[in-house]
Amino acid sequence: MVRSQGRPEILWPLFAELDVLDGVGPKTAKHYKGLGVETPKDLLLTLPIGGIERSVKPSIRDVPLPGMATVPVTVGRHRKPAGRGPYRIDVEDAETAFQLVFFHAKGDYLERILPTGSRRVVSGRVELFDGVAQMAHPDHILPEADAGSIPAYEPVYPLTAGVTQKGIAKAVASALPRAPYLGEWIDLPLLKKKGWPAWPDALAAAHNPTGPADLSRSAKARERLAYDELFAHQLTLAMARQQVRRKKGIVTQGDGRLRAKVLASLPFSPTGAQIRAIDEIAADLASPLRMNRLLQGDVGAGKTLVALMALLVAVEAGGQGVMMAPTSILASQHYAGLKPLAEAAGVVIASLSGRDKGAERRSKLAALARGDIHILVGTHAVFQDDVAFADLRLAIVDEQHRFGVRQRVRLTEKGAAVDTLVMTATPIPRTLSLAQYGDMDLSVLDEKPPGRTPIKTALVSTARMDEVVQHLRDAVAEGRQAYWVCPLVEESEVFDATASEERFKHLRAALGEGVVGLVHGQMPPTEKDAAMAAFQSGQTRVLVATTVIEVGVDVPNASIMVIEQADMFGLAQLHQLRGRVGRGATASTCLLMYRSPLGETAKRRLNVLRESEDGFHIAEEDLAIRGAGDMIGTAQSGLPRFRVADLESQTALMEIAQTDARALLELDPKMAGGRGQSALTLLWLLEQDKAIRLITAG
């Protein structure tokens, strides 16, 4: 038996070995692994993907041909093949004659199951061949008395080598009685409102569809089974969140004086979304529970200001804050952006990277440990053991998907009870953010600060390369700056570097010495920094780059973005790259260069980008085009793999599941009540053992 320690006894029959089921021997059980099925429970959650209409009709004339027909017949003459042809049997239904056709058939077997003169019910696909109706290899051949055993609508299951439709149907029929009533983990008013059946009834209905409507995601039985998966997943995340919140935080409450100084120094007013996010974060910091919040903002929505305001709350309260970015380019960018604002408030800010060496590093660390540095900005170098804070209150992690959760934990260990704010500039569709970050509270920046110029996006074929280069020549002559992003090559930084070096030489020859700079992942850090600095100061006018510049680079004078072979990039990445321009007052353009001919999907993706600058809309479209797994690469995304639920189309169910899971834990933190106990059974059933450990540890 596939048993996990502590699993309730009522579930044991569902976790037996597969060969206890009818029609499954040890050898077939191995084949089922191709479907990801190892227990009766796995099989029951492998639902039909289609169905075949098999209601009995008097004649094949009642069915549009070619098509499926189930008809009673009188068996006539057997026509044995001369040589290697097929074996044919004449049959007659209530209105017409047709033939049953068998290839490579054994005549004595066919004479035994279809004796001449007998009555049989046959079911299969009928086609016209040279004007003669034929049913080749019927799916069912039964004596007329047994016709009732053919389902009027037969489910069709996904298959793998060594597994047949008849085999699965037989195994499922013997697995269904193993699914008992397990109590109800769904909130009863919700169950009633949705009209969902109880769990065993939902399984039985999903495996015995009566027509195509029963196969749709909105069929009551399937919807309920999908909700069970989403609810179990959200319950696991809610427990993880409860675990973080259970660890006492520090009440960090500022008096607002430093924040007021920064706001007074700004030439603009914050957006409504920024104010809302700042208030949500300040409320979390002031609470005795640990903050675990995700700040999600579109490109250019002003996350830096929100981050600084959060850090200033920590400083006002007498503590320190740290902000961490995944690359040194991004960290120095954040530092450059935060420094003038922090200084306007009279706050000491410093940066720390792997490049700080010797005496300089030692003096920084000493100042940090004394509390003389209020805000530290850095890469993962801030994790090193010799980095100690006087009183760290808040850790901000930018572009978290590039850090492991383990690194996040190490950072929070730098302070007694550090509050964590995670930021991402990649708008994530609502369902995916619930699935990936459901353990976090969410703040969303969905407004652009005033004064940002719209970006004109155009699609250009690579055949027009010379025109694009001329466009750059004119722009450079007018004192403007441009990015030129080279294509991704085989996911290899070495190839990317070669491609960008070639393009750099070509543009340098066309535009002149000293006008074009180059930055790619293979360059030594000092060279990379020098190239970025030269572009930022306006010394170089065109920066040839790989996707190193995807996030965070801020050069207001850059108003042209050329992306070569844009069809090779994902939508989110293209949106990020485009966001590097349109940061100043000049009208900006983004040229998406593609190689002809452009495939349908690539065309659809590039058109979405051309028509919209709203990152959240683009992310939803990306999800619709690519699907959840591809969008973030399921293997490393930490996304759950559901058997029934569908992340793309069941957003609303996921949201209900999150609210419901959190509400259940508020009411019954130890899951000791009736519904809590049933919910624990659900977690065992769906193998969310990790969550069960959290409850017992808590």
- Closest among 599, 604, 593, 574 to 463, alpha carbons compared: 593
Q: Residue 225's pLDDT band (boundaries 50, 70, 90)?
A: very high
Q: Residue 497's pLDDT band (boundaries 50, 70, 90)?
A: low
pLDDT at 413: 58
DSSP string, 631-649: HHTHHHHT----SS--TTT
Cβ neighbours for 159, distance < 8 A, ≥ 6 positions apart: 35, 165, 168
pLDDT at 630: 45
- Please say if the pLDDT value at position 698 is more than 80: no
Q: HSE on the CB side for 603, CA within 13 Å?
A: 6
Cβ neighbours for 661, distance < 8 A, ≥ 6 positions apart: 231, 234, 235, 237, 238
Residue at token pair 């109590």:
183
Domains detected in the chain? 55-150 (2.40.50.140), 257-445 (3.40.50.300), 455-612 (3.40.50.300)
pLDDT in tens, 434-452: 766 767 788 888 877 776 6
pLDDT in tens, 532-582: 888 888 899 999 887 766 544 678 888 899 998 888 887 878 888 888 887
Assessment of whether the complete model's pTM goes beyond 0.85: no
Average pLDDT over every residue of 526-530: 82
Q: Residue 629's pLDDT band (boundaries 50, 70, 90)?
A: very low
Q: HSE on the CB side for 274, CA within 13 Å?
A: 19
Distance, in Å, from the CA atom of 653 to the CA atom of 309, rounded to the nearest integer, reads 35
- Please say if the pLDDT value at position 591 is more than 60: yes
- Please say if the pLDDT value at position 424 is more than 70: yes
- Please say if the pLDDT value at position 181 is more than 60: yes
Q: Residue 524's pLDDT band (boundaries 50, 70, 90)?
A: confident
pLDDT in tens, 36-74: 899 999 999 999 998 988 999 999 998 888 989 999 999
Average pLDDT over every residue of 408-412: 55
Choose between 623 and 537: higher pLDDT. 537
Choice among 263-267, 348-352, 393-397, 691-695 with the minimum mean pLDDT: 691-695
Q: Residue 632's pLDDT band (boundaries 50, 70, 90)?
A: very low
Average pLDDT over every residue of 162-169: 88
- Please say if the pLDDT value at position 504 is more than 60: yes
Choice among 123-127, 376-380, 479-483, 635-639 with the minimum mean pLDDT: 635-639
pLDDT at 636: 36
Average pLDDT over every residue of 186-208: 96
The overall average pLDDT reported for the chain is: 85
Omega before 58 within 30 of 0, i.e. cis: no
Highest mean pLDDT among 62-76, 102-116, 526-540: 62-76
Distance, in Å, from the CA atom of 351 to the CA atom of 331, rounded to the nearest integer, reads 8
Choice among 179-183, 190-194, 617-621, 656-660 with the minimum mean pLDDT: 617-621
Tell me, what amino acid is at 540?
T
Q: Output phi, psi for 395, to 5 deg.
A: -115, 125
Contact 657, 227 (CB under 8 A): yes
pLDDT at 161: 86
Choice among 15-29, 393-407, 503-517 with the minimum mean pLDDT: 393-407
- Using CA atoms in the order 391, 397, 403, 406, what is the torsion angle rounded to 10 degrees? 40
Choose between 611 and 172: higher pLDDT. 172
- Please say if the pLDDT value at position 239 is more than 80: yes
pLDDT at 681: 92
- Closest among 644, 663, 689, 651 to 199, alpha carbons compared: 644
